[in-house]
Structure 1
Amino acid sequence: MIAQPYQLYVERTDTSKNMARYYAMSIEPTLFGDACLTRRWGRIGASGQQMIHHFDREEDAVQLFLHLLRQKRKRGYRPPTLVTT
């Protein structure tokens, strides 16, 4: 069983390069109680791609989650900014 929810959504935009990307991850339990890390990525506004990793232990899923988070932060991905009117 998953001890706590893990979810992430970050974006990387650069108007000079016409870049608008998103990256989303979440760790969820499977029907059998194992941990499942789901990753989604692509251009903002498009359906993009998806990859699912299955783990016997939640700790392994969290370790990959944190590794990917650090990797995306280095590449310039940040949480979306909220625009208030």
Structure 2
Amino acid sequence: MLLLPDKALLAGLLQRYRTWERLVLAQPNNLARRRRLEDLAYTLCVLMGRRTAREAIIAAELHLGLSRSDGSAAEWAQDR
């Protein structure tokens, strides 16, 4: 049985991840920003029990009941 994280904690992590993702996209050569994004990605992976940041984000969105406009969460859930 997988223990899932608190939804408020998870929502905050997702929000921080997306903020840092935008910052990295704005300045892709900024190593400090990239490291922070990678740290957040790792934390999401550990909390959600997933191997990649993409899988962790989709799992987190499903856990929070969020829907993705591109439909990838639903497709991902069907593949599992």
Instruction: Using structure 2 for the length normalisation, give the TM-score.
Output: 0.28
Q: More helix by proportion, 1 or 2?
A: 2
Instruction: Using structure 1 for the length normalisation, give the TM-score.
Output: 0.27
